[in-house]
Chain A
Amino acid sequence: MAIYIEEEKCTGCGLCVASCPYGAIEIVESKARFTDDCTMCGACVSACPQGAIVLEMPRKGEVDTSQYRDLWVVAETTPEGDLAGVTIELLGEGRKLADELDAQVALVLMGDEVGELAEKAGGFGADTVYLVSHPSLKQYRTGPYADVLCGLINKHKPEIVLFGATSMGRDLAPRVAARIKAGLTADCTELSVDPETRLLHQTRPAFGGNIMATILCEYTRPQMATVRPRVMDRAQWQEGREADIVEVPVDIDERSVATKIVEVIADEGAGAVNLQDAEIIVSGGRGLGAPEHFALIQELADTLGATVGASRATVDAGWIPAYHQVGQTGKTVKPKLYIACGISGAVQHLAGMSSSDCIVAINKDPDAPIFKVAHYGIVGDLFEVVPELISAINERRGQ
């Protein structure tokens, strides 16, 4: 790994100085020069209009993997300023993996005035927190986050780096991986390590979920992965546990940041029915008896954060608009959870939902075909079962 300036190209313009988040470049006699603070983050490479700066990362096969130790989690924060759920999940999963490798877990926390969260991270199992606080890091932006993170990785050499497979993680991780020439696996749903080889086994769905693939990065470091939210277990809170907080001073010149966030708008239109992307769908069928009873389906859906689906019969009867329809002639869906209420399971309906990960059927008729594809079936009156289901979920939440 090396970074150098091709002096004959350098004009001493100083743009690299402004771009360096670690304040590690100075202009001496009209030429740029790195100081000892350089982390080889590479921010200056794309800032240089002359292309005079070269970051050389070792190629596959040239990496001394033994130099790399520890597992890192890149933190994400919520708009309200708390640690994101996926970060706590990654701390939980990371702890398990690190223990098998006899390694430490570090959290990289970038933001503005997020010191409180750094302390919290200790309680969720982080051994170390690299705390990077700067006004320019208040909201996630690819450029400064990637620069800071690349510098930290190149300096401290973690063995594994995990990100949430969120809009942030999926934007940041590939940018970082491309700069440091590391292997990256997207959207993992299962992780494990082999303590002998110290390789991270990264398993993810592909081809629309038709197949699972297990992927290794054998010769490059760190081994990087984005991990799907709500798959891993959250870390247990340990009262009184503290992490070693390492404050990383950075100096970001806002003028050198390539993107500006002009506006952030909360998505009011989230009510738009998007069956195909829905993780949970609650569907109603003819068993509802009347259009107004869809309110019950809506209530269960609201309780679960689900989207409302419908059988063809109810759509044809004009009980609910056609964009709710699931089935051969409606939408084909594959949510994680599909709850069919009062749907008998006509072939045409089954064709649109039978590959859902988990299917729950509630129907009066024990012979209804829907029970053949259901993972869990309840024979009963939906007007009795569904309200009980809503209160059982609420009670469990309340615990």
Chain B
Amino acid sequence: MNVIVCMKQVPDTSEVRIDPETNTIVREGVPSIINPFDENAIEAAVQLVEEHGGKVTVITMGPPQAEQALREALAMGADEAILLSDRALAASDTLATSYVLSCAIRRIGDYDLILCGKQAFDGDTAQVPPGIAEQLGLPQITYVIGLEVVGDKVRARRLLEGRYEVVEARMPAVLTADKHMNEPRRPGLKSVLAAKKKEIPVWDAAGCDIQVSSCGLEGSPTRVIRTFAPSHEHEGEMIEGDPRDAACQLVEKLAAAKLV
């Protein structure tokens, strides 16, 4: 049972600030973390391999410093890690990123399942995993909170709006992990120190047969033209009147803001 986990190093959004002058994200001093949903995917993959044997390969596309996130994944129990890093890949949008990752997954070759976090903490798009599944021609099961492998099939429990769905697909398949799937382990220091010593190969675009015209800026159909800080600061308003009156005024205001 070989499992590939696609992961991403993201800035810890709880510590992100906006530069009011430039309206851009201040990244300095913001710690980088493994995208939390990817930790669920790594945990699920490690558990699968603990149960069925095989190996877990984690892969990330990112700058050289993304190696740090891969080492954390190795400490959590992944067997191998690959860093996909090439200047040509910079500024790829979700379509281009899924193309690039699908090329790298083809190069890895031997796999039964591909696991991803359900979405990345920074972009929150959830678009890359279905993109990978499409480009590899594989079935996808998103929002997974539990899974079992039976023979050549994977059966997964999905968490949807107000209901669960149990879905079965033939393998290989692409699955995306929800945070309710499991509790990612906190690796012991022995594993952390061992992970530090592992070799992490760095792959470039050419090595994965990636068409440069399909990645980076050129391969990305979407373009961000403007960023700005959301304006939720406004002067507080005191609502006067007797309780009945005040309550009615409040409900009007909340309804106008589509909050009730």
Contacts and interface: CB of A to CB of B under 8 A. Distances in A.
B222 A214 contact: no
B16 interface: yes
A317 interface: no
Interface in A175-233: 175, 177-179, 181-187, 201, 205-220, 230-231
Nearest to B253: A376
B108 interface: no
Interface string A263-299: 1111100100000000010000000000000000000
Contacts of A261: 165-167
Interface string B133-146: 11101111111000
A371 B227 contact: no
A373 B87 CA distance: 45
B230 A211 contact: yes
A304 B247 CA distance: 14
Contacts of A205: 124, 230
Contacts of B228: 211-212, 214
A209 B234 CA distance: 17
B257 to A, nearest CB: 6
B227 A213 contact: yes
B202 interface: no
Given A280-B259, A377-B238, A393 B251 contact: yes
A350 B23 CA distance: 25
Nearest to B211: A59
B194 interface: no
A388 interface: yes
Contact of B164 (A267, A376, A391, A392): A267
Given A60-B218, A217-B221, A374-B236, A174 B126 contact: yes
A79 interface: yes
Contacts of A377: 236-239
Interface string A323-362: 0000000001000110000000000000000010110100
A216 B221 CA distance: 8
A393 B133 CA distance: 45
B191 interface: no
Given A211-B230, A214-B226, A259-B169, A79 B255 contact: no
A378 interface: yes
A376 B129 CA distance: 41
A389 interface: yes
B260 A304 contact: yes
Interface in A350-399: 355, 357-358, 360, 371-381, 384-385, 388-389, 391-393, 396
Contact of A183 (B95, B158, B246, B247): B95
A247 B225 CA distance: 39
A363 B133 CA distance: 53
A177 B93 CA distance: 12
Contacts of A381: 243
For chain B, give the interface size range.
Answer: 35 or more
A210 B20 CA distance: 12
Contacts of B255: 396
Contact of A167 (B18, B143, B246, B254): B143
Given A179-B134, A217-B221, A377-B238, A262 B155 contact: yes
A210 to B, nearest CB: 5
Interface string A48-77: 000000000001100000000000000000
Among A219, A259, A358, which residue has the most Cβ atoms of chain B within 10 A? A259
B77 interface: no
Contacts of B160: 167
Nearest to B162: A267
B227 A174 contact: no
A391 to B, nearest CB: 8
Nearest to B254: A337
B229 A214 contact: no
B95 A178 contact: yes
Interface in B8-40: 11, 13-14, 16-18, 23-25
A288 B126 CA distance: 42
B259 A218 contact: no
B188 interface: no
Interface of B: 11, 13-14, 16-18, 23-25, 93-95, 98-99, 121-131, 133-135, 137-143, 155, 158-170, 173, 213-214, 218-230, 232, 234, 236-239, 243-244, 246-248, 250-251, 253-255, 257-260
Leading 10 A-B pairs by shortest Cβ distance: A46-B137, A183-B221, A208-B13, A258-B139, A388-B247, A186-B125, A178-B134, A174-B127, A174-B130, A220-B221
